[in-house]
Structure 1
Amino acid sequence: MSVQSGERRTAPREADVLIVDDEDDIRELLEISLMRMGLGADSVGSVSAATKLLSERKYRLVLTDMRLPDGEGLEVVRHVAALAADLPVAVITAHGSMDNAVAALKAGAFDYLSKPVSLEQLRALVKSALDVRSRQSDAPADKTPQFTGSSQAMEQVRSLVERLARSLAPVYVSGESGSGKERAARMIHTLGPRGGQPFIAVNCGAIPENLMESEFFGYRKGAFTGAETDRDGFFHAANGGTLFLDEVADLPLAMQVKLLRVIQERRVRRLGDTQEQAVDVRIISATHQSLKEAVDAGRFRQDLFYRLNVIEMHMPALRERREDIPELAQSILQRLANDSGMGSPRLTPAAVKALERYAFPGNVRELENILERALALSSGDDIDEADLRLEPISLTTGELSASGASEGGNLQDHLDRFEKLAIVEALGKTGGNRTRAAQLLGVTFRSLRYRMERLGMKEQQ
């Protein structure tokens, strides 16, 4: 069989992987490494040759260089995405070309490798890529965290979770507090190729600044006073799996610089160590704040934002999917009852309507707290509206609830309820951003702050 320049088969067996690279030494390195893993490969040196083979044969993985004689690796990524969305594609980029890697991930690449290619990282990538389909089909339904609700908003979330689980691209999850950001991150992890590996969740706002570096990167014995033994950090603990950085906007700028370097180099140096160690970690980050506004205000590095926000996923607030509240409430109530060894409680129609009217500034987390309290205080099997003990501002339509109106009170009390409701709605629509909420309400920031203080809403700032 004649072999064209830049194209060859490594073995007569059926190929599992398509290699697209115009450098002979890189192709040979990849072919030998794959062969040692028991995988056959086809090698080509151009975009046109790659697209031709992709139309003729089926592969389990595509590895493509970014720079090719007749185009870019991005063309291969897009071609595969249009041809077979479930075929993982990894790109090989020049050292330090993170912009190219991010562009490829945004275009749908599964992951990337930097030159010079690390065989350890290559093996980890290949294993993850070949596991991705089996992980999605074999993940036990009872062990996979699920979202309750059939609203259009939640259907879109489920669809995006499934798509994100098929790649290792960094994901930024936005949304209000209590909207389910960590649950979304866990679902992406569990349904993906790393589902059997560690999922390490870190609240960045809960770590003292002087301990951040040792907590994230670990330390060697004797690195500082009190370091009596070697200790691994979050990156080591999550190696092979996913590191979930919750409230990432709370990271101090000095730590942001160190985090950026680890993400780019995929290597970590423990405090007191002279050697770096390779780490294979997928990053999913989240915050209830606006990262873009934090960048504009100088509180968050733009380059780190660019690395974390490769794909953004927004979790809708509970009031944005009100049709899910009855099913969600009953599901939570049943789980709470089972955990407590109680019977099957039931929400009365009046209680369901009250929940549907409520603003839920704390989202699903607040709903769970309300139901847990109601279950503890109710005297029978049924939970009625009175057992919920909701705040008077239960409507988001601009009308006072019947319960609020029947409570009596003077005109100022009613006006205060209207005003508080309007502020809650505005803060909800802006993700808690008071500057934008003031703009929505047509008042100054100072005026909004004064009104919130007068209404006793300091805790929502």
Structure 2
Amino acid sequence: MSENRSALVVDDERDIRELLVLTLGRMGLRIDTAANLGDAREQLARNRYDLCFTDMRLPDGNGIELVAEIARDHPRTPVAMITAFGNVELAVEALKAGAFDFVSKPVDIAVLRGLVKHALELNNAERPAPAPPPPEQASRLLGQSPAMGVLRETIAKVARSQAPVYILGESGVGKELVARTIHEQGARAAGPFIPVNCGAIPAELMESEFFGHRKGSFTGAHADKPGLFQAASGGTLFLDEVAELPLPMQVKLLRAIQEKSVRPVGASAEIPVDVRILSATHKDLGELAADGRFRHDLYYRINVIELRVPPLRERTGDLPQLTQAILARLAAQHGRDTPALSDAAMAALAGYGFPGNVRELENILERALAMADGDIINADDLYLPQANGHARATAAGNGVVHDINDDAPDGPLPSYIEQLERSAIHKALEDNRWNKTKAAAQLGITFRALRYKLKKLGIE
């Protein structure tokens, strides 16, 4: 660590100041101290700091004031709040005011070192460039609409913090890509990004999956296994569909987030973990908390910063750019030239509501690419669902459009059955806001069977 890095420690307790001076000094930082707000403001006026620690309660004011002032006047100086042990409400208030992170008293040296490392990397120009998103996700954040401009600006701001971010948006808008972008633009970019679908883990295995287990702790535990928190240590843990967590698991997750440590199943001691929590759901988490279906304390802990991802229908002006990018990627995958959309096809897309958002647009265009004859995709090639919820299919050979729910098939029986399946699955997904577990239940099939059909029909 460079010797010219500096930090300001603001605390009225001599013991805390001395501990931080000693610890940070051993990490190669030059340290200045202040015992109150007035001294801190004088130091900030005279010097530039790479990092600041401030206590919450100071003799002449509140540390929150200093956090807000530094965030406003010295935006390139990350500031961490020192709070009393277990005082989560004040820690969350500090994060909302612009604090980079917080550390509880008594100060854990290992946690402190990790916090300092990430804070200093915020201004490290040599930090590795973020990896490009996977090709199938690369189109999700495209667009020049005002809504996307605001989203990208907000992502850039929250990436500089360690505060938990709650990503709210409908299914298919690209919430995981937003989370991945926050990770890649932040100080943890070189660390792991671990996404987990909270609705896909059986309740009886949830604690083991999140926190790990020791050999012999239960039937089938043949070896020690690290959990998702350990796998994400030094990086970001993305909790997708966090609303699906059962209440008992919510209690354990809250404790892990607050204490920054986990206890594997069957272990006698806790293990410190260093993760940033990002979470997402298509449900109204505030409403669930109000109804008692989601813990208030966990809701406020993960919802420090709320980030809404706009649905596709609110940014239809981005459709031309999105469709061009998606078609170019799909065509390259199939080794063919990129087809063009006819004016009628583009008008049909612009008039469609896209309940499945960008994910649904990708599915529609992939199907159209396979169905289109030649280098032009026409409106009929899109097979857009109609207002009554059923898709329209073009019978092979004559170009006549039929509703797939006509009494008799007009074409090969396997193709007709496939269209029926596709329509039923689309409708179930739309009815359940693209929650596959609930869609499978509505269809009367298992989750595994639904996944097989989605892959077979090219729906995802």
TM range (shorter): 0.7 to 0.9
Q: Tell me how far apart the structure 2 counterparts of residues 349 and 134 of structure 1 sit (CA, whole Å).
A: 48
Kindly state the Cα deviation for residue 341 of structure 1 after the two structures are TM-superposed: 2.2
- 2:276 paired with 1:292: no
Residues 49-58 or 225-234, more deviating? 49-58
Match of 2:111 in 1: 121
Match of 2:58 in 1: 68
Name the structure 2 match of 1:139: 129
Q: What is the match of residue 440 of structure 1? A: none
Q: Shift of the alpha carbon at 1:339? A: 2.2
Q: Is contact 1:135–1:191 with CA below 8 Å preserved after alignment?
A: no
Pairs aligned (count): 396
Letter in 2 for 1:187: T
Question: Within 5 Å, which residues of 2 pair with 1:59-458?
Answer: 59-134=49-124, 139-140=129-130, 142=132, 147-393=141-387
* Cα separation, partners in 2 of 1:394 and 1:135, compared to 1, 3 Å: farther
1:33 aligns with 2:23: yes
- After superposition, the Cα gap between the structure-2 partners of 1:133 and 1:337, relative to the gap in structure 1 and judged at 3 Å, is farther
Q: Is the 8 A contact 2:5 2:28 kept in 1?
A: no
State how far apart, in whole Å, the 2-side matches of 1:169 and 1:156 are. 19
Q: TM-score, normalised by structure 2?
A: 0.82
**1:22 is aligned with what amino acid?**
D
Contact conserved, 1:244 with 1:284, CA < 8 A, in 2?
Answer: yes
Distance of 1:140 and 1:181 partners within structure 2: 18
**Alpha-carbon offset, residue 387 of structure 1:** 1.1
Q: Which runs of 5+ in 1 are unaligned?
A: 1-12, 396-402, 410-427, 433-461
Q: Distance in 2 between matches of 1:124 and 1:342?
A: 49
* C-alpha distance in 2 between matches for 1:158 and 1:394: 36
1:329-386 residue CA offsets vs partner (Å, 9 max, x unmatched): 1111111122222222222222111111111000001000001111112221221211
2:26 corresponds to 1:24: no
Q: What's the CA shift string for 1:215-250, capped at 9, x where partnerless?
A: 111000000111000000110000011110011001
Distance 1:192 1:204, change over 3 A: same
Taking the aligned partners of 2:388 and 2:322, their CA distance within structure 1 comes to 18
1:347·1:382 contact (CA, 8 Å) conserved in 2?
yes
Cα contact 1:19–1:27 (8 A) shared by 2: yes
Q: Deviation per CA, 1:127-179, whole angstroms, max 9, x where unpaired?
A: 10111133697525746967100000000000000000000000000010001
Q: Which residue in the other structure is 2:36 paired with?
A: 46
CA distance in 1, matches of 2:13, 2:62: 14
1:189/1:199 contact within 8 Å kept? yes
Runs of 5+ consecutive residues of structure 2 not aligned to the other structure: 395-399, 404-429, 434-460
The runs of at least 4 aligned residues of structure 1 exceeding 6 Å deviation read: 406-409
> Do the aligned partners of residues 247 and 142 (structure 1) sit closer, same or farther apart at CA in structure 2, a change above 3 Å counting?
closer
Alpha-carbon distance in 2 for matches of 1:407, 1:388: 12
Task: State how far apart, in whole Å, the 2-side matches of 1:368 and 1:158 are.
Answer: 21
- Which string of whole-angstrom CA distances, capped at 9 and with x for unpartnered residues, describes residues 75-117 of structure 1? 1101111102232110010101111100000111000000111
- Aligned sequence identity (%): 55
- Tell me by how many angstroms 1:408 deviates: 10
CA RMSD of superposed structures (Å): 2.6
2 CA distance for matches of 1:85 and 1:28?
26
CA distance in 1: counterparts of 2:89 and 2:356, whole angstroms: 37
State the distance in 1 between where 2:175 and 2:182 align. 11
Contact residue 358 and residue 393 of structure 1 kept, 8 A? no
> Are the aligned partners of 1:354 and 1:394 in contact in 2 as well (CA < 8 Å)?
no
Shift of 1:198: 0.6
Given the two structures, how large is their TM-score scaled by the length of structure 1?
0.81
